[in-house]
C-alpha cells in the first residue's frame, strides 16, 4: 500500500479545490452583477466549470491507477467508511455540478453557444439541444445545479472540518500527506 499521495494527486486536489470554491462564489454573485458585465462573466463561469469537469475526469482516472495511502490504524472501521463515503460524494458532486451546468445551457431556449475561453466551440449535450420543452427542462437543470451547489458547500465544510480535526486535535498525518508543505504537530502531552 502506498504511503503518500502522488504529486499529481496533490496538485489536482488543490487546483480543483481553489477553482470550485471560486466558482461557488462566482455562481452565487453573478446574478446580481451589472448587466453589461454578464456577457463576460457567464462565459467565464461556463469555461471554468467545463475545465473543472475535464480536470476531475482526469483526476478520477489517475486515482483509479494510483491507490490512495491507507488511513491510520488508529481510525475505527466506521471512521474509515465515513471518510471513503465522503470522498466518493465529493467526486460525485465534482462531476454532477458541472454536468448539470452543461445540461442547463444545452437545453436553454436562448441557444447561446458555449466556447471554451473564446478559443473553440464546446458542443452542447446532443439530446438536450433538440428537445421541444426546453424552457421547463432548462429550468429544472438550473434547480438541480443550484441544489448541488448548496450540497457542495455543506460537503466541503464537513470535509475541511474533518481535515482540521485530524491535524489539530487527533494530530495524525492526514492533512500533511495532502499538504506536504505543512509539518505534523507533535503528539499532545
Ligand atoms: C464545479 C463547477 C461549477 C460550480 C461550482 C458552479 C456553481 C454555480 C452556482 C453556485 C450558481 C448559482 C446558483 C444557480 O443559479 O444555479 C451557478 C449558476 C450557473 N451556472 Fe454554474 N457552476 C459550475 C459549473 C457550470 C458549468 C460547467 C456551466 C455551463 C457549461 C454552468 C453554467 C451556469 C449558468 C448558466 C448559471 C446561471 C443559472 C441561472 O441563472 O439560472 N456552471 N453555478
Ligand atoms: C472544493 C474543495 C475540496 C474538494 C472538492 C476536495 C475533495 C477531496 C477529495 C475527493 C479527496 C479524496 C482524495 C482521494 O483519496 O482520492 C480529498 C482528500 C483530502 N482533502 Fe480535500 N477537497 C477540498 C478542499 C479541501 C481543503 C480546503 C482541505 C484542507 C483544509 C482539504 C483537505 C483534504 C485532505 C487532508 C485530504 C486527504 C484525506 C486522506 O488522506 O484520506 N480538502 N479532498
Residue 123 pLDDT:
95
Q: Write the CATH number of the domain with boundaries 7-178.
A: 1.20.950
pLDDT at 188: 77
Is any ligand 2 atom within 6 A of the Cβ of residue 152? no
Does ligand 1 have an atom closer than 6 angstroms to the CB of 17? no
Return the residue whose CA atom lies nearest to atom 20 of ligand 1. 101
pTM of the model: 0.96
The ligand minimizing its distance to the Cα of 102 is 1
The pLDDT profile of the chain, 189 residues, written as one tens digit per residue, is 567 899 999 999 999 999 999 999 999 999 999 999 999 999 999 999 999 999 999 999 999 999 999 999 999 999 999 999 999 999 999 999 999 999 999 999 998 999 999 999 999 999 988 889 999 999 999 999 999 999 999 999 999 999 999 999 999 999 999 999 998 888 876
**What's the pLDDT at 2?**
65
Q: Atom 15, ligand 1: which residue's CA is nearest?
A: 146
**Which residues lie across from 116 on neighbouring strands?**
120
> Ligand 1 pocket check: which of 24, 27, 144 to mutate, most ligand atoms within 8 Å of Cβ?
27
Pocket lining: 15 vs ligand 2, CB cutoff 6 Å = no
Amino acid at each position: 500500500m502506498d504511503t503518500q499521495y502522488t504529486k499529481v494527486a496533490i496538485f489536482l486536489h488543490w487546483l480543483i479545490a481553489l477553482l470550485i470554491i471560486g466558482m461557488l462564489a462566482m455562481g452565487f454573485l453573478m446574478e446580481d452583477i451589472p448587466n453589461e458585465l454578464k456577457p463576460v462573466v457567464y462565459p467565464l463561469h461556463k469555461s471554468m466549470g467545463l475545465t473543472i469537469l475535464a480536470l476531475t475526469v482526469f483526476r478520477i482516472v489517475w486515482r483509479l491507477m494510483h491507490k490512495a495511502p491507507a488511513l491510520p490504524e488508529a481510525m475505527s472501521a466506521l471512521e474509515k467508511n465515513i471518510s471513503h463515503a465522503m470522498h466518493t460524494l465529493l467526486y460525485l458532486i465534482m462531476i454532477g455540478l458541472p454536468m448539470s451546468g452543461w445540461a442547463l445551457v444545452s437545453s436553454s431556449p436562448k441557444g447561446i453557444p458555449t466556447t471554451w475561453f473564446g478559443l473553440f466551440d464546446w458542443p452542447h449535450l446532443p439530446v438536450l439541444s433538440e428537445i421541444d420543452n426546453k424552457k421547463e427542462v432548462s429550468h429544472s437543470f438550473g434547480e438541480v445545479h443550484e441544489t448541488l451547489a448548496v450540497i457542495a458547500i455543506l460537503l466541503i465544510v464537513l470535509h475541511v472540518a474533518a481535515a482540521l480535526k485530524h491535524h489539530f486535535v487527533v494530530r495524525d498525518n492526514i492533512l500533511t500527506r495532502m499538504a506536504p508543505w505543512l509539518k505534523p504537530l507533535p503528539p499532545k502531552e
